[in-house]
């Protein structure tokens, strides 16, 4: 073994760990997508359906980001065995096709109702609620993306046992914990909003604070 081999091994092991992490996230994402997909088709309630469709869109966007990363790895000469990556890519693309079908059906239904003059007039309260729900979902999505980035950076940081932990590592761990706490709160707010226990106006009161928080945590 040459003197440079251990470093190369270390680099490739680090890359393999990162690939394993993303493949695990893809599998989790596909499972979540499947369970939301079933909810979309099981519910008769139009508002619930709309909410689940928004969740589905959020999940597919996440999977598409993983697909971009996987495509980069597939093209890399560093990685010899690409079967698991190819399979994951196919899996994501299958879900993307299913999402397109769902989106098309939604648009077709809305269009046919409009064509028949049956489109119900949107209740301003419902419209405000839907807008607030979409905004809350987008904040949750932004925070989840930041957590993914923090975790990826965290895996790249190393320190020797018994030595002081690097400040960046401590900062990232605190940020992840804080983000997760905020996501939990936001999910509670979403439930309260859906159950009419909170009004869109009440939720909008914290809009500036939350947008500032997401922005500053980049």
The answer, yes or no, to whether residue 3 has pLDDT greater than 50, is no
Angle ∠(137,140,143) on CA atoms, nearest 5: 150
> Reduced to 3 DSSP states, what percent helix, strand and coil does the chain have, rounded to the nearest 5?
80, 0, 20
One domain for residues 134 and 164: yes
Angle between helix 5-42 and helix 83-115 axes, rounded to 10 deg: 30
Query: Which is more confident, 106 or 88?
Result: 88
One domain for residues 69 and 132: no
Does residue 174 lie within any of the structural domains? Answer: yes
Both structure tokens of 111: 């269009």
Of 46, 79, 112, the position where a domain reaches its end is: 112
From the list 114, 99, 98, 84, the residue with the least C-alpha distance to 22 is 84
One domain for residues 177 and 88: no
| 217 three-class SS | coil
Does residue 4 lie within any of the structural domains? Answer: no
- How many folded domains does the chain comprise? 2
Angle between helix 46-75 and helix 5-42 axes, rounded to 10 deg: 160
One domain for residues 58 and 142: no
User: For 193, how many CA atoms within 13 A lie in the half-sphere containing its CB?
Assistant: 27
One domain for residues 140 and 96: no
Predicted confidence (pLDDT) per residue in 202-213, tens digit: 998 888 888 888
One domain for residues 169 and 201: yes
Task: Report d(CA 135, CA 90) in Å as an integer.
Answer: 31
Domain encompassing residue 182 = 124-216
Predicted confidence (pLDDT) per residue in 11-58, tens digit: 588 888 999 999 999 999 999 999 998 888 888 888 888 888 889 988
Query: Range with the lowest mean pLDDT among 6-20, 78-92, 160-174, 177-191?
Result: 6-20
Task: Report d(CA 28, CA 31) in Å as an integer.
Answer: 5
Both structure tokens of 148: 């993914």
Of 72, 89, 112, the position where a domain reaches its end is: 112
One domain for residues 40 and 73: yes
Q: Label residue 46 left, alpha or beta by phi (over 0 means left) and psi (-120 to 50 means alpha).
A: alpha
One domain for residues 18 and 78: yes
Task: Report d(CA 88, CA 94) in Å as an integer.
Answer: 10
One domain for residues 96 and 153: no
Mean pLDDT computed over every residue of the chain: 83
One domain for residues 184 and 93: no
Residue 200 host element (H or E)? helix 200-204
């Amino acid at each position: 073994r040459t003197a440079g081999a251990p470093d190369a091994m270390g680099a490739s092991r680090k890359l393999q760990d990162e690939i394993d992490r993303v493949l695990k996230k893809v599998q989790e994402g596909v499972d979540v997508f499947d369970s939301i997909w079933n909810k979309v088709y099981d519910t008769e309630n139009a508002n619930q359906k709309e909410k689940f469709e928004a969740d589905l869109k959020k999940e597919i966007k996440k999977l598409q980001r993983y697909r971009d990363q996987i495509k980069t790895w597939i093209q890399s000469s560093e990685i010899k065995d690409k079967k698991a990556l190819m399979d994951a890519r196919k899996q994501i693309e299958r879900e993307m096709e299913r999402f397109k079908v769902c989106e098309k059906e939604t648009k077709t239904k809305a269009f046919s109702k409009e064509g028949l003059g049956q489109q119900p007039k949107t209740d301003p309260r419902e419209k405000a609620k839907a807008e607030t729900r979409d905004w809350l979902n987008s904040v949750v999505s932004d925070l989840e993306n930041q957590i993914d980035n923090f975790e990826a950076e965290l895996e790249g940081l190393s320190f020797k046992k018994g030595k002081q932990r690097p400040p960046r590592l401590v900062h990232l761990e605190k940020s992840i914990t804080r983000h997760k706490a905020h996501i939990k709160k936001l999910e509670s707010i979403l439930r309260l909003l859906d159950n009419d226990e909170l009004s869109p106006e009440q939720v909008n009161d914290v809009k500036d604070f939350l947008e500032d928080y997401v922005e500053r945590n980049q």
